Structures are given as C-alpha cells and as structure tokens.
Structure 1
Amino acid sequence: MERIRRSWTSWRGTAIEPLIQDSLRRMEGLPEGTSAIGGYWTRTNHPEIDLIGADGEPIAKKITMVGSVKWLENRPFDDHDLRELIVRQAQVPGADTSTPLYAVSRSGCGVEGVRHVTPEDLLEVWR
C-alpha cells in the first residue's frame, strides 16, 4: 500500500482517464454529435491529448470537443493549462478554434472558456 501511495502521482492519469472517458460518454449536454470519447496522440506522443470527442470511431468525420484532465490534489485547471490545451487543440486534425474545450479537474477551474467537469459531475452519471 505504501508503494502505491508513493508512486500515485506518476500513474494517476493512466488510472483515471479511462474512467473519466466512460463517465463523459454517459453525460448529457455534450456537444451535438458526440458519440465517441477517447484520447489522441501521435506516434511521437506530440501532441498527447487526454480527451477528444468525435462523431464516431474508429474514424471520425468531425471532432466535437477537445479536453484535458488535471487530477491534481492541490491545483485547479489554470491559465497555463488552458494555453497548453489551446496549442494542442490546434494540432488535432479536424479541430479548430470553434471546437469546444473541456477541463476535467479534481481541484476546480480558475479560467473562462472551458466547460469545467467536476468529480461530482462524473459520479452523477452513474447514479
């Protein structure tokens, strides 16, 4: 148990992102046409994006959302995170500045321009 606690920060994203993606798939109010949610990365892992919404899978015709997961205990999604997400959004084929941005954050969201999804929002879809 102590080894898990010590190394939690190095693998928490890998552990939580699939659960977040499953929860978002069940959530109402996603951008119109969203029927698939997953991650996106290239062979070089640049960019690597936590959340991509699309109109289908495995090949999407339309990207409906781009998002970031910040599952930190002590820091909200902030301006730095937003700037990083906007840069990554521009690197996704089929996404543009009109593609909605999402921030899934355990510790809040301190910026405008993204739809913030809270842990409570994620739990609610399973009730």
Structure 2
Amino acid sequence: MERIERSWTSWHDRAVEPLIRESLLCLMPNDEWPETEAIGGWWKRQNSPEIDPVGADREPVVRQVHFVGSVKWLEAQLFGRHEYDVLVRDMVAVPGAGPDTPLVAVSRCGVADGPSLSAH
C-alpha cells in the first residue's frame, strides 16, 4: 500500500482517464453536443501533447471534433490558468480541432476563476 501511495501521482492519470471518458460518454449526446457519440483521447507517440478527452461524432475514424479537453485529477489543485494555456496551445495538434473548438476540463478539485471553458 505504501508503494502505491508513493507512486500514485506518477500513474493515477492513466487509471482515471478511461473512467472519465466512459462517464462522459454516458452523458452524451446532450443539448450542447447532440451529435457527440464518441469520447476518446489524442496524443503523439511521445505522449506530448496529450489531449484527453476529445468528443467526436464517431469512432474510429472521426469526421468532426466537437470538443477537446484536459483531465487534471490532482488532490489539492484547481484546473487553472496554466492548465488552460497548455490546452489552448496543444489543442491545434488534434486533427479536426481548431481555435474555435470548444474546451472542457475535468478536475477533481474544480476550476479556478478565469479560464474560458465551454464545460467543466
């Protein structure tokens, strides 16, 4: 148990992100994204940048990206300006996403005032 607790911060995202994607999929389609039927993630082979979640019309071949986001599952830190700025910088790497693609955040501790998100 001590080893798991010691290393939790190094691997907890990989444990939580699939659960979050599946949970978001249970909420779709909704009024804001009525055509979203797939929730996945996108990253390069080097895992940088990593955009997760990505809401899209279908899978495995996406025709339209509906939103991109970031999961921050920290025990004592809000999703803040830094995380938002990284998401804005990296989102353009996602095929089908652009500067007008809505942004979402999933955070264990909430979202700080300031970042302009479509949902959190």
TM-score by length of 2: 0.90
Deviation of 1:44 (Å): 3.1
Would you say 1:112 and 2:102 are equivalent positions?
no
**Structure 2 residue ranges without an equivalent (≥5):** none
Per-residue CA deviations over 1:42-69 (Å, capped at 9, x if unaligned) read 2232321121111110000000110000
Q: What CA RMSD, in Å, does the superposition of the two structures yield over aligned residues?
A: 1.4
Query: 8 Å contact 1:21–1:51 — kept in the other structure?
Result: yes
Alignment map for 1:1-127 (pairs within 5 Å) = 1-27=1-27, 28-110=30-112, 111-117=114-120
Aligned to 1:125: none
Letter matched to residue 33 of structure 1: E
**Cα distance in 1, alignment partners of residues 46 and 6 from structure 2:** 28
Distance (Å, rounded) in 2 between the aligned partners of 1:96 and 1:33:
18
Q: Secondary structure at the match of 1:52?
A: strand
CA contact (8 A) 1:109 1:116 kept: no
User: What amino acid is the match of 1:4?
Assistant: I
Q: CA deviation at 1:95?
A: 0.7
Residue 105 of structure 1 contacts residue 116 of structure 1 at CA under 8 Å; is this kept in 2?
no
Percent identity, please. Answer: 49
Query: Are residues 107 and 116 of structure 1, via their aligned partners in 2, closer, same or farther at CA, if it must alter by over 3 Å?
Result: farther
* Cα deviation digits, residues 65-99 of structure 1 (max 9, x gap): 10000000111000111110001111111111221
How far did residue 17 of structure 1 move?
0.2
Separation in 1, partners of 2:26, 2:73: 20
* TM-score normalized with structure 1 length: 0.85
Unaligned residue ranges in structure 1 (runs of 5+): 118-127
Q: Is the 8 A contact 1:71 1:105 kept in 2?
A: yes
Count of residue correspondences: 117
